[in-house]
A and B are shown apart, each in its own frame.
Chain A
């Protein structure tokens, strides 16, 4: 049906109303009311600068960025070969591999984090294996540090990278690599000079997506992180849960939201969410 102007907007109305009432307005009102509410814009600005330059907040921001960066690189290193394997696998191997990517994707992040608490715990798989092999005599403390957070987040965010890269790789003409080899390129040469450059847009999109999600990530760092380490998302949650300090929570939310939306704008220039999840 051709759908012009008012008709289309009528169909959009329920979704837009929900988004406005339960997403845009609450976030907007929360930030405005807490920061500006009874004071002035100038005071709100002073408060924002003061909170953002406090030592604890700078520490949390640095840590959050550092973890997000390392996790993004780790996810890329693991995800690229998996996505490549998806484009080459046939038959049962393909079905099983895509299922192995999709099942974790839809499984709750709590479950996936919990599994790594079991794997890395004092009586967990890794420690049992190392003890069994006689490589260590005491169980190692593998949990509650930055490495465990990185491992856990890498596993949780991996499907986003794999699905993004796979969407890009699948859209390449299948004859390209054959053509490169037919003209005398060796396998590694064909990969480095033809396949890799053509998949770079997918790499950028995947990295941005994972980095954005990692910045705001809560569950894994909160469950597996070192007691003294707080990411921005954890910082926000604690300010409300423990001290009801709305001003700090609002300033940090504003900062996190601004960075996220900025990166999303960059992402939109490179890629289309529709292609990844559609």
Chain B
């Protein structure tokens, strides 16, 4: 069936693309609404909700908290995940399959359970309300994605290159730094960006572990949604979309640049 797809096929694909992206486009569009309500399509256009979002110290702080937490989670998660991915791809040790399944479980365990369990443990220890706690928890929940992405890159790196470097007198640490890391760099960068997004978007763990001053952007959006439905939230949502889009475009551009250089 390698016939040329029919025009009908292209029409269907176009419709699918539009339907998949439309909900995200609608949020962006309504954040530029001039109305006070969530009427769509908006009757007039303005920047006032974006101005209100960016001008409000509480939204600013939430955005900043999210960036700090996500950056920390990405850094810690990627470092630990990179080492683990290397062990899984190159290593031979007992219980490998079981350990890999364990590393992947945070994907499927409902976040509600992690969130209240962490709250239950962290609360008596006085660890609730600190950026570091949320960041570490997010780093852990981001491990599966990091390990999966870096593993798939490492699988395409020829282990003979590492043996060759060792044979020529490079130390194991040097091999890691000079051979493995540069060759796995595209995967490592993607993994770091995905870990950043996973943390940036996460709601429940941040909700239970964050105090009033350490609210993240999703938590603040959540709390605002419970109280009022006004387009400032649309502007906050648009900010979340903008960060997601920027990170994905960055990932895409870096991959392209590397593919060109190769």
Contacts and interface: CB of A to CB of B under 8 A. Distances in A.
Interface residues on A, range: 35 or more
A256 B113 contact: yes
Nearest to A277: B148
B185 interface: no
A16 interface: yes
Select the residue from A3, A218, A233 with max chain B CB neighbours within 10 A: A3
B148 A260 contact: no
A8 interface: yes
Interface string B29-44: 0100000011111000
A111 B237 contact: yes
Contacts of B121: 25-26, 29-30
A53 interface: no
A18 B139 contact: yes
Contact of B175 (A1, A119, A278): A1
Nearest to A1: B162
A82 interface: yes
Contacts of B141: 23
Interface residues of B, number: 97
A2 interface: yes
Interface string B224-262: 010001000110010011001101100000000000000
Contacts, number: 278
A16 B5 contact: no
B113 A216 contact: yes
A110 B203 contact: yes
Interface string A16-42: 101100111111011101100000000
A130 to B, nearest CB: 13
B33 to A, nearest CB: 10
Interface string A57-82: 00000000000000000000000011
Chain B binding site: helix, strand, loop or mixed by DSSP?
A: helix
B151 A125 contact: no
B104 A273 contact: yes
Contact of A108 (B81, B119, B229, B240): B240
B40 A128 contact: yes
Nearest to B150: A278
18 contacts: A1-B166, A8-B87, A12-B87, A15-B83, A16-B84, A16-B103, A18-B139, A19-B103, A22-B136, A26-B120, A33-B120, A93-B10, A100-B20, A103-B24, A106-B247, A118-B40, A216-B109, A277-B107
Given A19-B106, A85-B12, A114-B27, 13 more contacts: A7-B91, A15-B143, A107-B24, A108-B240, A110-B240, A115-B26, A121-B38, A124-B39, A178-B2, A187-B1, A216-B112, A218-B203, A260-B110
Interface of B: 1-2, 5, 9-10, 12-14, 16-17, 20-21, 23-24, 26-27, 30, 37-41, 76, 79-81, 83-84, 86-88, 90-93, 99, 101-114, 116-122, 136-137, 139-141, 143-145, 147-149, 151-152, 159, 162-163, 166, 172, 175, 194, 197, 200-201, 203-204, 208, 218, 221-222, 225, 229, 233-234, 237, 240-241, 244-245, 247-248
Interface of A: 1-5, 7-9, 11-12, 14-16, 18-19, 22-27, 29-31, 33-34, 81-82, 85, 88-90, 93, 96-97, 100-104, 106-112, 114-119, 121, 123-125, 128, 155, 158, 174, 177-178, 181, 187, 190, 212-213, 215-219, 223, 233, 236-237, 240, 246, 249, 253, 256-257, 260-261, 264, 268, 273-274, 277-278
